[in-house]
Structure 1
Amino acid sequence: MELISVAAVADNGVIGRNGELPWPSIPADKRQYRNRIADWPVILGRRTFDSMRDDLPGRVQVVLSRSASDYGIESAHHASGVDDAIETVESLGDDRAYVIGGAGIYALFQPVVDRMILSRIPGDYDGDAYFPEWNTDEWTVVDRTPYDEFTLEEWVRERR
């Protein structure tokens, strides 16, 4: 199964502040993000899930949380960790899932993701959530698409 992290990341690594994006809304980025993940399972943390309840992303949400919960939404599934999340996605018959945050979830999945789709937001922002660092020697940028307000990068992990 292919695991893909998707995130918007400022120059200084910030991805959020107080549960929100710290930069003004970028409609083109939001559109490409939503279109990319629309038909696939997404893996996310409980706080990120709760913040998106009014407009849930993906076809299925696999919610990582220390405690099991009935989310009251048919498409939401609980997972207790990385392996459980992967097994849940596989049990649904999918061969791809998108990891969509927050910071702790990105860090947990960083050792096992196959690709990263990163919207690079120019500038440094104050924040309390950061995308995890990674060893660039293990990754290759295979695509870079400039937009007016961001650059979309696709990174692929080098398997040796």
Structure 2
Amino acid sequence: MLSLIAAVDRRNALGKDNRLLWHLPADLQRFRRLTTGHKIIMGRKTFESLPGILSHRHHLVLTRNRGYPVDDDRVTVLHSLEELWEQLDPQSENFVIGGGEIYRLLLPYADKIYLTVVEGEFEADTFFPKLDDGEWEVESKVAHPADGKNPLPYTFIDLSRRR
């Protein structure tokens, strides 16, 4: 199973200058809870933006750079969709974690999407692809107000592809 997981604003903004646009501990906890123990798929820029290797997850990094150097058993560098399909675990959920180009590339193959929609509009240079409402069904939608730890209101939305 292939799932996309992302946090966006109302305009589908993801980030700017290879950084997230906000800090929401609740979203980070959800990301950790959902992706721990699974393979996570990302582009090179997203990989380089991480604070380090994310524990208890195998990183699959898509890049056009055939000589991209990574020396860590928890990371596999891939250069094509064919190589990616060979690495996915068919018995488990595999998570696409960004960035914008990788989301666009893999959206047609996705079975589920886990979105965090942050209330507001932010200056951005990277966006999540627009979804066709006819292709996706909302499984759950839970709104959360801003609080002492999370400075912005946000909504968790889980979507599944209509069959």
When normalised by structure 1's length, the TM-score is: 0.90
Distance 1:108 1:95, change over 3 A: same
Q: Deviations over 1:8-63 (max 9, x none)?
A: 0100110001111123x111111111111011000000111111152426510000
What is the 5 A alignment of 1:74-93?
A: 74-90=73-89
Alignment gaps of 5+ in structure 2:
146-152
Aligned to 2:27: 29
Matched, 1:157 2:161: yes
CA distance in 2, matches of 1:31, 1:78: 26
Alignment gaps of 5+ in structure 1:
none
Letter in 2 for 1:85: L
Q: How many residues align?
A: 155
Query: How far did residue 70 of structure 1 move?
Result: 3.6
Letter in 2 for 1:43: I
Aligned to 1:133: 130
Q: Larger helix proportion, structure 1 or 2?
A: 1
Contact 1:7/1:100 (<8 A) preserved: yes
The farther-off stretch of 59-68 and 100-109 is 59-68
Letter in 1 for 2:29: R
Q: Deviations over 1:77-100 (max 9, x none)?
A: 01112332121123xx75320000
Q: Deviations over 1:100-145 (max 9, x none)?
A: 0000000000111000000010111110000001211011001011
Please point out which of 139, 142, 151 is paired with 2:139.
142
The farther-off stretch of 138-147 and 64-73 is 64-73
CA RMSD of aligned residues (A): 1.5
Aligned to 1:45: 43
Aligned to 1:18: 17
CA distance in 2, matches of 1:5, 1:87: 18
Distance 1:10 1:37, change over 3 A: same
Aligned to 2:150: none
